[in-house]
């Protein structure tokens, strides 16, 4: 095959990849004044091997909330940075969903070291432990206490039990307990409870409330 | 024209069949001419790209090239779809139905928006539990992950879910709610 043809195929592939964000019809919903900047950020993230769907979702969320174009661009840029930090902490094999959950945890106040420790402690996916960590901190549990509680449970606790753990902490806080001690007490309770009891497990295929 | 003069035809044929003497140095001169022509690489890159050329491709080769191109497109499209379907948003794995309920007495219409439906108010309209009820509900499939969502009343009023953890949003203002779906 002549060399120009051999050169053309990779060029076409790269061009198709680079223009993927521009071709995503959802981008048309984003305010016109910020569209080009959002596309550039998404393309840049894709080039860096970061997941781009969370960036698109952030832009769409800002659009639905009637945020200004400037705020949308700043938020997307901020999230792209957090995704990069999450990947540094969780390692390159982390899934896109793990990176997104890691970015949320970092933003809520978790340290990169906590994310790396979670990765070492748990063989299963880290999405739910990271989400629980984020929610605990959002509930007022200090970052250190939240990290200690989640790390204590992460190695052996199923996702459903981690969610139940978070609900128990939130309930105790709503009843007046201090957030830090509430997390520690619930972690002790859950780590002592048999995991196969099903007491906090999945409830089948019935529709459930969050 | 000469159909009635076969002798003329035969003479022409014999003339054309006569032996031709070729210069013994012809081969050398031809090769020298070829060697004197500059190779294509000597031309500029731009000229090379702009110069039209014919490519001979067998039908089988053309089919193979078309199949390869189609494969690239399909793989790229499926990759984009898989990311949109969950892996790149906030969840991955088997989806389960989750129900969402909100009380909105003043609303005439309510939508569920979140990072599972592109924050699009048209995608997941909620329905009243009863004709006169102030309670609205809907259910969506969610794969394991952490999702942010909210309710949008009458297309503009932002409602967080009082029954779910709040996700503050210092960048956009109105807080959202969070649902975490376990996978194991």
- How far is A202 from chain B, CA to nearest CA, in Å? 8
Q: Are residues A123 and A186 in the same domain?
A: yes
Nearest to A165 by CA among A197, A133, A203, A196: A133
- Residue-wise pLDDT for B52-106, tens only, equals 777 777 888 888 888 877 766 555 554 454 445 443 344 566 788 899 999 999 8
A65 neighbourhood in chain B, CB within 8 Å: 158, 169, 172-174
A56 found inside a domain: yes
Domain of residue B106, CATH code:
2.60.40.10
Residue A8 pLDDT grade (very low, low, confident, very high; cuts 50, 70, 90): low
A106 found inside a domain: no
Which pLDDT does position A78 carry in this prediction?
95
B79 found inside a domain: no
- CB–CB of A209 and B120 under 8 A? no
Q: Are residues A151 and A185 in the same domain?
A: yes
- What total number of domains does chain A contain? 2
B63 found inside a domain: no
A100 found inside a domain: no
- How far is B25 from chain A, CA to nearest CA, in Å? 34
> What is d(CA A61, CA A81) in angstroms, rounded to the nearest whole number?
18
Burial environment of residue A85 by CB neighbours within 10 A (0 to 12, 13 to 18, 19 or more): middle
Indicate if the pLDDT at residue A53 is higher than 90: yes
- CA geometry: angle at B49 spanning B47 and B52, to 5°? 90
% pLDDT > 70, chain A: 80
Pair A52, A23: CB distance under 8 Å: no
B178 neighbourhood in chain A, CB within 8 Å: 131, 134-135, 138, 210
- Residue-wise pLDDT for A68-124, tens only, equals 999 999 999 999 999 999 999 999 889 898 999 999 999 999 999 999 999 999 888
Cα A209 to chain centroid distance, Å, stands at 21
Q: Are residues A85 and A143 in the same domain?
A: no
DSSP string across A136-183: HHHTT--HHHHHHHHHHHHTT--HHHHHHHHHHHHHHHHTT--HHHHH
- What total number of domains does chain B contain? 1
Q: Are residues A143 and A193 in the same domain?
A: yes
Average pLDDT estimate for A156-165: 87
Which DSSP category does B96 fall into? E
Indicate if the pLDDT at residue A142 is higher than 90: yes
Which pLDDT does position B81 carry in this prediction?
46
Which pLDDT does position B96 carry in this prediction?
84
- How far is B94 from chain A, CA to nearest CA, in Å? 11
B127 found inside a domain: yes
- CB–CB of A78 and B49 under 8 A? no
B102 found inside a domain: yes
Q: Are residues A147 and A190 in the same domain?
A: yes
Average pLDDT estimate for B145-168: 90
Domain extent for A15: 10-90
A141 found inside a domain: yes
Which pLDDT does position B46 carry in this prediction?
72
A21 found inside a domain: yes
> What is d(CA A28, CA A12) in angstroms, rounded to the nearest whole number?
24
Stated pTM of the model? 0.68
- How far is A28 from chain B, CA to nearest CA, in Å? 12
- Residue-wise pLDDT for B114-140, tens only, equals 999 999 999 999 999 987 789 999 999
A99 found inside a domain: no
Both tokens of residue B117? Answer: 């439906």
More confident residue, A8 or A58: A58
Residue with tokens 């990290």: A147
SS3 state at B143: coil
Domain extent for B135: 96-181
Q: Are residues A82 and A116 in the same domain?
A: no
Q: Could you tell me whether strands B135-142 and B145-153 are parallel, antiparallel, or unpaired per DSSP bridges?
A: unpaired
A16 found inside a domain: yes
Which of A63, A65, A159 is facing B183, going by the closest CB pair? A159
Q: Are residues A193 and A159 in the same domain?
A: yes
- CB–CB of B92 and A127 under 8 A? yes
> What is d(CA B36, CA B55) in angstroms, rounded to the nearest whole number?
25
């Amino acid at each position: 095959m002549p060399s120009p043809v051999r050169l053309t195929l990779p060029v076409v592939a790269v061009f198709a990849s680079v223009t993927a964000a521009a071709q995503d019809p959802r981008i048309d919903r984003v305010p016109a004044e910020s569209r080009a900047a959002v596309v550039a950020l998404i393309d840049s993230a894709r080039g860096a091997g970061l997941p781009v769907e969370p960036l698109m979702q952030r832009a769409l969320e800002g659009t639905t909330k009637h945020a200004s174009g400037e705020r949308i661009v700043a938020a997307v840029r901020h999230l792209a940075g957090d995704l990069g930090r999450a990947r540094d902490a969780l390692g390159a094999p982390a899934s896109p969903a793990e990176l997104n959950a890691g970015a949320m945890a970092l933003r809520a106040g978790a340290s990169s070291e906590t994310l790396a420790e979670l990765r070492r402690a748990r063989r299963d996916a880290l999405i739910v432990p990271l989400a629980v960590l984020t929610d605990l901190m959002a509930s007022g549990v200090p970052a250190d206490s939240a990290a200690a509680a989640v790390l204590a449970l992460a190695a052996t606790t199923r996702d459903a039990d981690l969610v139940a753990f978070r609900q128990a902490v939130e309930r105790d806080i709503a009843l007046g307990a201090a957030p830090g001690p509430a997390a520690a007490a619930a972690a002790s309770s859950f780590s002592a409870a048999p995991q196969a009891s099903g007491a906090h497990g999945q409830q089948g295929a019935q529709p459930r409330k969050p | 024209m000469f159909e009635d003069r076969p002798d003329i035809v035969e003479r022409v044929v014999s003339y054309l069949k006569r032996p031709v003497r070729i210069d013994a140095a012809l081969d050398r001169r031809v090769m020298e001419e070829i060697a004197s022509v500059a190779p294509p690489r000597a031309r500029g890159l731009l000229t090379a790209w702009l110069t039209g050329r014919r490519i001979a491709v067998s039908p089988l080769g053309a089919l193979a090239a078309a199949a390869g191109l189609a494969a690239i497109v399909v793989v790229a499209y499926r990759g984009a779809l898989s990311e949109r379907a969950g892996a790149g948003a906030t969840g991955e794995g088997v989806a389960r139905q989750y129900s969402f309920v909100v009380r909105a007495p003043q609303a005439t219409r309510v939508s569920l928006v979140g990072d599972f439906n592109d924050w699009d108010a048209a995608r997941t309209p909620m329905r009243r539990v009863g004709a006169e009820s102030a309670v609205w509900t809907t259910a969506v499939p969610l794969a394991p992950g952490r999702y942010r969502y909210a309710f949008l009343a009458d297309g503009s009023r932002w409602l967080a879910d009082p029954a779910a953890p709040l996700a503050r949003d210092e960048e956009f203002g109105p807080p959202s709610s969070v649902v975490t779906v376990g996978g194991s």
